Chains A and B, each alone.
Chain A
Amino acid sequence: MKLVTFRVGDEHYALPLDDVQSIERLQPIRPVPLSSRHVVGILNLRGVVMTVCDLRSILSTTMTAYSDDTRLLVAGGLGFIVDEALDVIELDPERVEPRTDAHGLITGLIQDGDNLLAMLNSATLSQAPQANPSAAV
């Protein structure tokens, strides 16, 4: 099984390579007023209007300013902002230890050398735009 690994905040995550369409450099994003809190906005990805979600907000990690390492991970027709794309690794599926969290975002944990990788659920990720509207004042 091939996995794409990336960093969000201080933690490392993985998604099956088959679920990831591409990894892009960050481009200007047009905000969409009144959208749900995980939605950053929309952008033009080679002629396609794509909705972008912030994986840092979805995973509730600290939000840092965009850097040169910030990437857009395209999966399930949505773009996700990650702090850094790390690697593509080959992994024996048996090494994934099934584990889940309250939001169903994580399907398992992987011990990869010194790092602990959390395997994300791409099906749950695609539901991200449905989260509650931001700033419900």
Chain B
Amino acid sequence: MSNDYLSMFIDETREHLQAWSDGLMAMERSGDATAVPVLFRAAHTIKGMSMTMGFTRMGEITHAAESLLDGIRTGSLDFSRPLVDILLQALDVLESLLQSVEATGEEAALDTAAIQKALRAAASASPVATIAATGSSHESTVLPARPGESDVATAPTPVDEQEVVIKKVALQAIALGYNVYEIVIGFADDCLMPLARFAQWLQQVDLNLLLHTVPDATTLERGDYKGDIKVVLASTQEFDTVGRTLSDISEVVIREISEWTAESPDASPKRHELLPQNRHITDDEHVRSVILHALAQDIQVYEVGILLAPTCQMKAARCMLLFDAVGGQNRLLFTQPHIAQIEEEKMDRHILFVMWSKDSLDVVQRAIESVSEIELVELRQWHQEGAEPVRGDNSIAGPMAAQAVTVAERKKVSTIRVDTEKLDDLMNLVSELAIDKTRLERIRGEVTHVGLNETVDHMSRLSSQLQELIMSIRMVPVETVFHRFPRMVRDTARQLDKDIDFVVAGEDTELDRTVVEEIGDPIMHMLRNSLDHGVETPLERIAQGKPKQGRIELRAYAAGNHVFIEVEDDGRGINRDKVYRRAVERGLIGSADQLTDHQVHQLLFASGFSTADQVSDLSGRGVGLDVVKAKIEALSGKVDIYSEEGKGSRFVIRLPMTLAIMDGLLVRIGANPYLMPISSIAETGRLEAAQTVHGSEVVIWRGQVVPLVRAHSIFRETGDASASFIVYVSRGDKVVGIVVDELIGQYEVVQRNLHAELKKIPYFAGATILGDGEVALIIDANAFIE
């Protein structure tokens, strides 16, 4: 089996399983069956792919799940929590099967009979059947019939139920701000593979928003269907855009597009006719006879299709200008929409008209193209063949149509999958290039050569652009880690008998890929902490006059060069006294220490600290928050906690947006250069007179007493100690002045990792290779603050 297929199968199945999980979470939250069509499609697709790949266990489970979902979809089963549980269990089994496929290329030999049985039992326990089955056994109940698979007319009841469900779903979609379209798609008589054409269109549609098809997916997948297809589609796009996606596909005929509205939810949805029954208006008998008549008089007949720009404000006026340009309205033989409707501006962006002219095709084309805000998409000349008028080929294969096609194509292939290793290789190469760039810039200073100057300048610009581009490619939305939390929170909350409303925001915030990969565990620890220690049980909450349902919010946002990730709960908050006592017991602080609330809160991150009275299964083992802190700091980030007792807590993680390339200030300490990240520097200044307080050196900076640290003596440097500059570094409200011997300049460098053992030295975050090939250590200013 080809490896490519396998990895595609794994990737796509994972996406579908995620859609499945998201859908279930959404349904459980909303308590209705809105996402069932999504789940159904996911299950159906996984089934098809698994069977093709020979993964029968996955195929069988999804088949059983599909039947169950179909029952909910058609209304023969009531949506309920136990059903969600069974579907989640099925999801778990599928996920572990997929993992085994990924690891070994084979399905693990898991016993899947139990889950299949559970799914089948749930599917057969239809409400009607349950009542009927009081005396008999469940085995006697029949699976609900699949409507649509049989002839629609012979199975009226399920179809009615189905219609009701679809309407319900459609109304919900409308309420969410989607437009819902009902489209009847037909195919040209000579269309050889109508379903391939349909599939072509499906590629441009978000399948999750495809609410309904008649016939249903199973029939369509069989491949021999040739009739019309009715689809109900939710979309954020305008109807003409949707219509265009269809009309762009050859051999597809739009029989009807109508929009559903929410005005009368009880009655059948109101429909607007938006596009003609058949867009090929010139197939109309009457029009053809007029055309024939004109051709007989040796007059040219052109068929013109135009698309008004979406920004076009006065559509009617624009059309009149267009008609004037081609010789006036009396040249028109036919327009679609009707000329009266155009005058009243009752039209979408598509206008099709047939005109006569004595000019040649290119003259007409130029005339039309001279009108602004329109795009000429179709221009055909009619000729006579025997007694029949025949429409010629579209002559707009030129730049305009080609352009339109490229735009559409580009949209279609807007993403590709790239092996992350390749991306890393690319990043490394660009880093090398950045070093050479700096080296070249140095050499330029030594050699005077005009040509060299220009080339180096140009190369510098290019390499900076390249760097930015690579950085942006490396950015991925945090969604890739966030998506697994709703499920985790739900399961944990259940385990703890807590009722949690889990809200996720800012999933589209982007972070460097390496950071995103590492950030999952710390967030999970914080969420577990909030679930376990933060949010109270429903009973406790009611006693305190809080809403029964607790709330945990996970949000991400970008600010400046940092990305913030917050976990906030409305639970009991941090008990200051308890934390303080525990910290004293553990010897983390002295009993006489005066600490601010904020300082006390940060003690939670201290190693081996846990205030949970009972060691629970989840957290409270004293590992957790200190691990979180270590992990975040390893990513050059920091974590803070803000809390108000009785009201809740908020964890804030701050991360640099990118890791690989940083701005740094090169300083000399003793005989060696060191690089200090610009991001940690508050200010630099000369060292004037330092004062001594309690035996330690301080300076007054911005009205604040700032302790001084002599890097020269901390690093046990031996070289010249002129100690003439101070670099002020700050974190939160803490400021420290680091005394260095010389400020050399600002550099853009690529941060390199140190050997694992050297990483343990707190003062260094890494190393870098400077433009001249020298190595410099990168200072971690945090170490000086602590």
A positions within 8 Å CB-CB of B: 28, 30-36, 39, 42-44, 47-49, 51, 77-78, 129-130, 135
Q: Which are the 3 A-B pairs with shortest beta-carbon distances?
A: A33-B715, A129-B757, A51-B755
Query: A36 and B767 in contact (CB under 8 A), knowing A31-B672, A47-B435?
Result: no
Number of interface residues of B (CB under 8 A): 24
CA distance A135 to B717 in the complex (A): 13
- Which of B672, B716, B754, B761 is within 8 Å of A135, CB to CB? B716
A51 touches B754 (CB 8 A): yes
Q: Could you say which residues of chain B place their CB within 8 Å of the CB of A48?
A: 752
Whether a CB of chain A sits under 8 angstroms from the CB of B574 is no
Whether a CB of chain A sits under 8 angstroms from the CB of B249 is no
A34 touches B769 (CB 8 A): no
Q: Could you say which residues of chain A place their CB within 8 Å of the CB of B777?
A: 30, 32, 42
CA distance A48 to B755 in the complex (A): 11
- Which of B435, B714, B767, B774 is within 8 Å of A33, CB to CB? B714
Whether a CB of chain A sits under 8 angstroms from the CB of B758 is yes
In the complex, chain B residues 428-444 whose Cβ is within 8 Å of any chain A Cβ: 432, 435
Whether a CB of chain A sits under 8 angstroms from the CB of B223 is no
CA distance A35 to B715 in the complex (A): 10
- Which of B432, B435, B714, B767 is within 8 Å of A42, CB to CB? B767
From residue B719, how far is it (CB to closest CB) to chain A in Å? 11
Given contacts A33-B761, A42-B767, A49-B769, 14 further A-B contacts (CB under 8 A): A32-B754, A33-B717, A34-B715, A34-B761, A39-B758, A43-B775, A44-B774, A44-B775, A48-B752, A49-B752, A49-B768, A49-B775, A51-B754, A51-B755
Q: Could you say which residues of chain A place their CB within 8 Å of the CB of B755?
A: 51, 77-78, 129
- Which of B435, B715, B752, B774 is within 8 Å of A28, CB to CB? B774
- Which of A30, A31, A77 is within 8 Å of B774, CB to CB? A30
Q: Could you say which residues of chain B place their CB within 8 Å of the CB of A43?
A: 775
Q: B736-766: contact bitstring with A at CB < 8 Å (1 yes, 0 no)? A: 0000000000000000111101100101100
Query: A33 and B769 in contact (CB under 8 A), knowing A43-B775, A130-B757?
Result: no
Q: Could you say which residues of chain B place their CB within 8 Å of the CB of A51?
A: 754-755, 757-758
CA distance A33 to B712 in the complex (A): 10
A35 touches B775 (CB 8 A): no
Whether a CB of chain A sits under 8 angstroms from the CB of B299 is no
Listed residue (A28, A33, A47, A51) with the most chain B CB atoms within 10 angstroms of its CB: A33
Whether a CB of chain A sits under 8 angstroms from the CB of B276 is no
Q: Which residue of A lies closest to B711 (CB)?
A: A33
Whether a CB of chain A sits under 8 angstroms from the CB of B773 is yes
Whether a CB of chain A sits under 8 angstroms from the CB of B220 is no
Q: Which residue of B lies closest to A77 (CB)?
A: B755
Q: B532-546: contact bitstring with A at CB < 8 Å (1 yes, 0 no)? A: 000000000000000
CA distance A49 to B753 in the complex (A): 8
B763 touches A33 (CB 8 A): yes
CA distance A42 to B675 in the complex (A): 15
A30 touches B775 (CB 8 A): yes
Q: Could you say which residues of chain A place their CB within 8 Å of the CB of B753?
A: 49
A47 touches B757 (CB 8 A): no
From residue B17, how far is it (CB to closest CB) to chain A in Å? 39
Q: Which residue of B lies closest to A38 (CB)?
A: B757
22 contacts between A and B (CB under 8 A): A28-B774, A30-B672, A30-B777, A31-B672, A32-B764, A33-B715, A33-B716, A35-B757, A39-B758, A43-B775, A44-B774, A47-B769, A49-B752, A49-B753, A49-B767, A49-B768, A51-B754, A77-B755, A78-B755, A129-B758, A130-B757, A135-B716
Q: Could you say which residues of chain B place their CB within 8 Å of the CB of A30?
A: 672, 767, 774-777
CA distance A49 to B754 in the complex (A): 7
From residue A44, how far is it (CB to closest CB) to chain B in Å? 5
CA distance A36 to B756 in the complex (A): 12
B714 touches A36 (CB 8 A): no
CA distance A77 to B758 in the complex (A): 14
Q: Could you say which residues of chain B place their CB within 8 Å of the CB of A35?
A: 757-758, 761
Q: Could you say which residues of chain B place their CB within 8 Å of the CB of A135?
A: 716
CA distance A32 to B757 in the complex (A): 12
Q: Could you say which residues of chain B place their CB within 8 Å of the CB of A32?
A: 754, 758, 761, 764, 777
Q: Could you say which residues of chain A place their CB within 8 Å of the CB of B774?
A: 28, 30, 44
CA distance A39 to B769 in the complex (A): 19
Q: Could you say which residues of chain A place their CB within 8 Å of the CB of B775?
A: 30, 42-44, 49
From residue A137, how far is it (CB to closest CB) to chain B in Å? 9
CA distance A68 to B573 in the complex (A): 66
A44 touches B758 (CB 8 A): no
From residue A107, how far is it (CB to closest CB) to chain B in Å? 23
Q: Which residue of A lies closest to B752 (CB)?
A: A49
From residue A11, how far is it (CB to closest CB) to chain B in Å? 26
Q: Could you say which residues of chain A place their CB within 8 Å of the CB of B757?
A: 35-36, 39, 51, 129-130
Q: Which residue of B lies closest to A32 (CB)?
A: B758
Listed residue (B435, B761, B768, B776) with the most chain A CB atoms within 10 angstroms of its CB: B761
Q: B284-305: contact bitstring with A at CB < 8 Å (1 yes, 0 no)? A: 0000000000000000000000
Q: Could you say which residues of chain B place their CB within 8 Å of the CB of A31?
A: 672
From residue B457, how far is it (CB to closest CB) to chain A in Å? 24
B752 touches A34 (CB 8 A): no
Q: Could you say which residues of chain B place their CB within 8 Å of the CB of A33?
A: 714-717, 761, 763
- Which of A34, A42, A44, A130 is within 8 Å of B763, CB to CB? A34
Q: Which residue of A lies closest to B428 (CB)?
A: A47
CA distance A30 to B674 in the complex (A): 10
CA distance A13 to B573 in the complex (A): 63
Q: Could you say which residues of chain B place their CB within 8 Å of the CB of A28?
A: 774
From residue B437, how far is it (CB to closest CB) to chain A in Å? 13
From residue A75, how far is it (CB to closest CB) to chain B in Å? 14
From residue A131, how far is it (CB to closest CB) to chain B in Å? 9
CA distance A98 to B758 in the complex (A): 33
CA distance A31 to B108 in the complex (A): 52
Q: Which residue of B lies closest to A30 (CB)?
A: B775
CA distance A36 to B759 in the complex (A): 12
In the complex, chain B residues 669-718 whose Cβ is within 8 Å of any chain A Cβ: 672, 714-717
Q: Which residue of A lies closest to B772 (CB)?
A: A44
CA distance A33 to B755 in the complex (A): 14
Q: Could you say which residues of chain A place their CB within 8 Å of the CB of B714?
A: 33
CA distance A30 to B716 in the complex (A): 14
CA distance A33 to B717 in the complex (A): 8
Q: Could you say which residues of chain A place their CB within 8 Å of the CB of B767?
A: 30, 42, 49
Listed residue (A31, A49, A78) with the most chain B CB atoms within 10 angstroms of its CB: A49
Q: Which residue of A lies closest to B714 (CB)?
A: A33
Listed residue (A28, A43, A44) with the most chain B CB atoms within 10 angstroms of its CB: A44
Listed residue (A32, A35, A36, A78) with the most chain B CB atoms within 10 angstroms of its CB: A32
From residue B784, how far is it (CB to closest CB) to chain A in Å? 13
Q: Could you say which residues of chain B place their CB within 8 Å of the CB of A42?
A: 754, 758, 767, 775, 777
From residue A10, how far is it (CB to closest CB) to chain B in Å? 29
From residue A17, how far is it (CB to closest CB) to chain B in Å? 24
From residue B439, how far is it (CB to closest CB) to chain A in Å? 11
From residue B738, how far is it (CB to closest CB) to chain A in Å? 14
CA distance A49 to B777 in the complex (A): 10
CA distance A6 to B672 in the complex (A): 31
From residue A63, how far is it (CB to closest CB) to chain B in Å? 17
CA distance A69 to B565 in the complex (A): 55
From residue B235, how far is it (CB to closest CB) to chain A in Å? 51
Q: Which residue of A lies closest to B766 (CB)?
A: A49
Q: Which residue of A lies closest to B436 (CB)?
A: A47
CA distance A36 to B761 in the complex (A): 9
CA distance A51 to B767 in the complex (A): 11
CA distance A47 to B775 in the complex (A): 10
CA distance A32 to B776 in the complex (A): 9
Q: Could you say which residues of chain B place their CB within 8 Å of the CB of A77?
A: 755
Q: Could you say which residues of chain A place their CB within 8 Å of the CB of B763?
A: 33-34
From residue A34, how far is it (CB to closest CB) to chain B in Å? 5
Q: Which residue of B lies closest to A52 (CB)?
A: B755
From residue A1, how far is it (CB to closest CB) to chain B in Å? 29
From residue B765, how far is it (CB to closest CB) to chain A in Å? 13
Q: Which residue of A lies closest to B673 (CB)?
A: A30
CA distance A48 to B773 in the complex (A): 10
